[in-house]
A and B are shown apart, each in its own frame.
Chain A
Amino acid sequence: MNFLKDISKGIIKENPTFVLILGMCPTLGTTTSALNGMGMGLATMVVLTLSNIAISLVSGQIPGKVRIPSYIVIIAAFVTVVQFVMQAYAPGLYSTLGLFIPLIVVNCIVLGRAEAFASKNGVLDSAIDGIGIGLGFTASLTVLGFVRELLGSGSVFGIKLLEGDGMLVFVLAPGAFIALGYLMVLFNKLKSRIL
């Protein structure tokens, strides 16, 4: 049961987007459609899980004063690996997300989990934490992308549902803030009922 609890922690209690409010740059930037949001979330999840594992393994060997630069180098290496692999085997996804992949390096979620969790916990716990937080991030980005795509372009996952152009503002940056704000209210309202 502990395993499930750890996973769900990342999705509900410590949801990175709606509760911790971390990593807003990729959140607002990539969620113009549900598919883009999901792709970005999954890419971040892979990096987060790998970096959590690696950092929990080596953190005992790293002197305190250079831990942040060390973590950044490790995270940057994983991000570049993900970028190469995506470019080689999923060029379609890469062409829509390419611009944002390098930004995963500076995503505060990844560094935040490295510093707050992985450096103090074991390998298995850190891996589960990475998957949980990654799933939470993916779910939030997909929901946000879903709402923005539906209102902004009248389609869902690229399939046209509504006629016309939709409300243009939701495709642009201001609409991202508006949608995010309302979703955050809704999420925390529901969360306070459940817990």
Chain B
Amino acid sequence: MAKESTIKNMAITLTVICLVSSAILGGVYSITKDPIEMAQVAKTNSAISKVVPKFDNDPSAELFNIEVGGKSYKVYPAKMSGNIVGYAVESYTSAGFGGRINLMVGFNIDSTIVNTAVLSHNETPGLGDKMVEGKSDFSVQFKGKNPEDFKISVKKDGGDVDAITASTISSRAFCDAVNSAYKVFLECTKQNKKE
């Protein structure tokens, strides 16, 4: 039933299959490209609105970059009738148990943390992923805290944060990302005052 395995037959078959497959993939990619981008923007936007005080502008349209310690961070300013009420900082760390963690941290203008939202992570399901809001109370303890008097590091390291049971590395990484976000926030307010 199958064709004979001559070099010519095999080359033709593989070429045709690869061409058809790549054509299909190209087609599907171009159809899903926009929805994928929209889904990502929607995810970022919903993370922003979760972590900053009430606002009436479009923070992702006023996005700017700030460099702290040689790394560049995205900052989304939240404004209410033209006045800045808070910043959402897209922070990250590579110190997670499964590598990189992207975290959105929102600050009130008085430098208290409004809320945090995990954008992406590769932590162990059932352990490190408890840092995602709703899976455990871990992220709740950051709400309304001012990093000035609430030391953002786990209790094992002399800080004020209760680590997730059996996930000290993930908890440390989370604190690391929040700390970076706080430094970015301080830089923001400094630049804002100069203006």
B-contacting residues of A (Cβ < 8 Å)?
Answer: 32-33, 36, 58-67, 69-70, 73-74, 76-77, 80-81, 84-85, 87-89, 91, 95-96, 99, 152-153, 165, 168, 171-172
Contact = CB atoms under 8 A, between A and B. Distances in A.
Interface centre among B13, B22, B120 (most CB of A within 10 A): B13
Question: Chain B's interface: helix, strand, loop or mixed, by majority?
Answer: helix
B36 A63 contact: no
Contacts of A153: 126
B80 interface: no
Question: Chain A's interface: helix, strand, loop or mixed, by majority?
Answer: helix
Interface string B38-82: 011011000000000000000000000000000000000000000
A24 B14 CA distance: 29
A80 B165 CA distance: 37
B126 A63 contact: no
A171 B126 contact: yes
A67 B4 CA distance: 12
Interface centre among B17, B22, B29 (most CB of A within 10 A): B17
A168 B127 contact: yes
A74 B21 CA distance: 7
21 contacts: A36-B125, A60-B1, A61-B3, A63-B4, A65-B5, A65-B10, A66-B13, A69-B14, A76-B21, A81-B24, A84-B29, A85-B32, A88-B35, A88-B36, A88-B39, A89-B39, A91-B40, A91-B43, A96-B125, A171-B124, A171-B126
A99 B122 contact: yes
Interface in B104-131: 120, 122, 124-127
B5 A66 contact: yes
B32 A87 contact: yes
Contacts of B25: 77, 80-81
A32 B12 CA distance: 44
Interface in B5-38: 5-6, 9-10, 13-14, 17-18, 21-22, 24-25, 28-29, 32, 35-36
